[in-house]
Amino acid sequence: MNNLNSGMSTIVMFVVLIGIMYFMMIRPQKKQQDAHQKMLSSLKHGDEVITIGGLHAVVDSVNDEKNIITLDCDGVLLDFSKSSIARVTQKQEDPIKETAAAPKETASETKTADEAKETASDSEQKED
């Protein structure tokens, strides 16, 4: 009976160890891989990238069929596998998003100008 309890506790400890290993090592690595894959799939012309070899370049074209990306390094065009991209340093903004963001900035600038006028009128009232 005592041997049965020690065998069960060994199995439970083994299962707990596997669970800890999953949550501490495997799961974060899988999230990181998914984020890298999402980054690779969203690459487009004009994005500034760094390859796994340390080359800094700008994306010239992306060929999803062949899984090849063409990078522009100071006028020299180089073909790389998409998986050789380590990270994106600066994403090229979509023109649609830029035009949508422009009115919001104008509205905030107008609000700032209104606040400045209120502050000026408050200071004038204090002087009187």
What's the rounded Cα separation, in Å, for the pair 128 and 123? 9
Write the DSSP assignment of 3-53 as a string of letters.
HHHHHHHHHHHHHHHHHHHIIIIIHHHHHHHHHHHHHHHT--TT-EEEETT
Domain boundaries, the chain: 2-91, 93-123
- Residue 85's region, left for phi above 0, alpha for psi from -120 to 50, else beta, is beta
CATH architecture of 2-91: Roll (2.30)
**Cross-strand partners of 71:** 59, 78
Residue 105 token pair: 């900035």
Dump pLDDT digits (tens) for 66-115.
999 999 999 999 999 999 999 999 877 765 555 555 555 444 444 555 55
Q: Whole-prediction pTM value?
A: 0.56
Dump pLDDT digits (tens) for 31-70.
999 999 999 999 999 999 999 999 999 999 999 999 999 9
Residue 72: burial class (beta carbons within 10 Å; 0-12, 13-18, 19+): middle
